[in-house]
Amino acid sequence: MPHDADLPVSRPQTTYVVEHLRTGFIENGAGAGSRLPSIRRLTRELAVGRNTVIEAYEHLVAEGLVHSRPGAGFFVAERARSGQEDTIPVSLADVTSENWRLFEQDDTRLKLGCGWLPDDWREIDDLAHAIRSVTRQSRAGVFDYSPPLGTPALRTLIQQRLRRLGIETHANQILLTGGGSHALDLLVRLLIRPGDTVLVESPGYYNLLGLLRLQRANIIAVPRRADGPDIERLEALLLEHRPSLMFINSVFQNPTGTSLSAPIAHRLLRLAERHDVRIIEDDIYADFQNTPSVRLSELDGLDRVIYVGSFSKSLSCSLRVGFISGQPELIRRLVDVKMLTSISAPHFAEQVLATMLQNGSYRRMMERLRVRLARQMSATLALLRKAGWQIFDAPAGGLFVWTRHPDIESSQRLVAHAATRGIALSPGRVFLPEARDTPWLRINVAYATDARARRFLADPANDRA
């Protein structure tokens, strides 16, 4: 009879304590047999209720990670099948488990720290129309595998859209994927061998960091500035570490919300050429931008730059479509990886998206969305400034603000305070390759004008709702 180790933890505070113990003690700690903090100590240190701590310990005992000795306290358990743990680096847990809770349907917290649009912002009519139209008109869309590169009509539509960004490519140099993360994953698998050195931005997209850890890459981080990566530091890192690959999020970077400037793009490319580094340009927020700024793929002509785009952030997180564009030989090899690992991407989603690109409903939806997001961005920046938060750099658009409160040195504490007030935040450390605690935090502006968010942002140190 299986035990219930994976039953979701129902309360956000409990999740917080579970993850605090899991990542802070059990997985990175002193190993089997070590004593864990007492209930009293955790209650005080984490500013949560006694019952919350007890519930967290009960969960960990049920999971087999902790055992209790009556009268003596809680201890890290011996793990069954200990060989298994080695197959994923332990540090992976730092960027994973505490974030997945945000994806649960029954999570009623305000998702101020999440990376997607609120459900009530979604417009159903045009999308439902496209779904009905594909279902009626395309047996292939309903039943068949998508071709290896993806639906040809959609690739042509994407090619035309890229041209508007100044990126010239061929429809046969576009490979469709099941979203942006899937695109990054295919590239990671093709281009990175365990032990390879790769450059990322810090702070940067946490899922990418996890993905690189999963592939056992050697991760080197270049600081992200308001106008792109720190070029002086980048040059030094290129000389010292000789990476073969660099990841950059050019526009509305996750988590800082900043965009690459033209001069930095130019200098970055020159450095990449001199040091023979390939660049993966993650541009999944492209459609959130009113007027295109410069892209590396535009300057470089997709020679050493590989472009990643996505519609998952804008259209739907369920009907996921992303894509990669690059040199023909690269795309040919990516087809192998895509087919072996998933046999084509979801055909139905590709056809629904193609329908909406063709009839103009996607364009009109994005126009409305950009207006709404711009209003939220102004309101959020005003809220934050008024309450004394420091802003990394005011973004020109997109979803994210990277911010810190001068009185609070630990975003872990902020996350804990927010949890007691029904708000889900992602701690800043998940965006840092070294996963250390930081005062910085990513705020999703689409959620920031909710009354709960307003109260929290105005007085973040108060941990009683």
Contacts to a copy of itself from residues 214-253, by CB under 8 A: 214, 244
Based on CB atoms, which residue is closest to a copy of itself, 333 or 454? 333
Q: How far is the CB of 280 from a copy of itself (least distance, A)?
A: 14
Closest alpha carbon to 295 in 331, 269, 272, 313: 269
Q: By CB under 8 A, is residue 348 in contact with a copy of itself?
A: yes
Match 């035309």 to its residue by tokens: 160
Based on CB atoms, which residue is closest to a copy of itself, 292 or 301? 301
Amino acid at 273: E
State how far the Cα of 315 lies from the Cα of 362, in Å rounded to an integer.
8
Q: How many CB atoms lie within 10 A of CB 30?
A: 10
Q: Is 149 left (phi over 0), alpha (psi -120 to 50) or beta?
A: alpha
Q: By CB under 8 A, is residue 82 in contact with a copy of itself?
A: no
Q: By CB under 8 A, is residue 15 in contact with a copy of itself?
A: no
Which pair of structure tokens corresponds to residue 38?
């007492």
Among 340, 436, 451, 464, binds a copy of itself (CB under 8 A): 340
Among 113, 257, 309, 346, binds a copy of itself (CB under 8 A): 346
Among 91, 133, 156, 172, binds a copy of itself (CB under 8 A): 172
Q: How far is the CB of 3 from a copy of itself (least distance, A)?
A: 7
State how far the Cα of 333 lies from the Cα of 344, in Å rounded to an integer.
14
DSSP one-letter code for 105: T
Based on CB atoms, which residue is closest to a copy of itself, 431 or 456? 431
Which residues within the stretch 248-307 sit at the binding site for a copy of itself (CB under 8 A)? 302
Among 78, 144, 232, 434, binds a copy of itself (CB under 8 A): 144
Q: How far is the CB of 131 from a copy of itself (least distance, A)?
A: 5
Based on CB atoms, which residue is closest to a copy of itself, 126 or 450? 126
Among 31, 70, 71, 87, binds a copy of itself (CB under 8 A): 87
Among 207, 249, 289, 412, binds a copy of itself (CB under 8 A): 207
State how far the Cα of 211 lies from the Cα of 231, in Å rounded to an integer.
25
Q: How far is the CB of 277 from a copy of itself (least distance, A)?
A: 12
Based on CB atoms, which residue is closest to a copy of itself, 316 or 420? 316
Q: By CB under 8 A, is residue 379 in contact with a copy of itself?
A: no
Q: By CB under 8 A, is residue 90 in contact with a copy of itself?
A: no
Q: How far is the CB of 419 from a copy of itself (least distance, A)?
A: 19
Among 45, 78, 104, 409, binds a copy of itself (CB under 8 A): 104
Q: How far is the CB of 441 from a copy of itself (least distance, A)?
A: 21
Pairing, β 197-202 against β 218-225: parallel
Question: Kindly report the CA angle at 418 between 416 and 424, in degrees rounded to 5?
Answer: 95
Task: Check: CB of residue 432 under 8 Å from CB of residue 208.
Answer: no
Based on CB atoms, which residue is closest to a copy of itself, 188 or 248? 188
**DSSP one-letter string for 168-220:** ---GGGEEEESSHHHHHHHHHHHH--TT-EEEEEES--HHHHHHHHHTT-EEE
Q: How far is the CB of 437 from a copy of itself (least distance, A)?
A: 21
State how far the Cα of 313 lies from the Cα of 117, in Å rounded to an integer.
7
Q: By CB under 8 A, is residue 109 in contact with a copy of itself?
A: no
Q: By CB under 8 A, is residue 319 in contact with a copy of itself?
A: yes
Among 43, 173, 254, 314, binds a copy of itself (CB under 8 A): 173
Q: By CB under 8 A, is residue 459 in contact with a copy of itself?
A: no
DSSP one-letter code for 253: -
Which residues within the stretch 49-78 sit at the binding site for a copy of itself (CB under 8 A)? 63-64
Among 24, 29, 49, 147, binds a copy of itself (CB under 8 A): 147
Based on CB atoms, which residue is closest to a copy of itself, 30 or 145? 145
Task: Check: CB of residue 178 under 8 Å from CB of residue 322.
Answer: yes
* Per-residue buried b or exposed e for 211-229, using 16+ beta carbons within 10 Å of the residue's own CB: bbbbbebebbbbebbebbb
Strands (E) located in 311-431: 322-325, 390-391, 400-404
Number of residues that bind a copy of itself (CB under 8 A): 94
Q: By CB under 8 A, is residue 103 in contact with a copy of itself?
A: yes
Sheet holding 174-177, edge to edge: 174-177, 322-325, 305-310, 278-282, 245-249, 197-202, 218-225, 228-229
Query: What does the CA dihedral 342, 348, 352, 354 come to, rounded to 10 degrees?
Result: 60
Among 194, 406, 436, 464, binds a copy of itself (CB under 8 A): 194
Among 11, 161, 189, 370, binds a copy of itself (CB under 8 A): 189
State how far the Cα of 302 lies from the Cα of 162, in Å rounded to an integer.
11
Question: Kindly report the CA angle at 359 between 354 and 362, in degrees rounded to 5?
Answer: 70
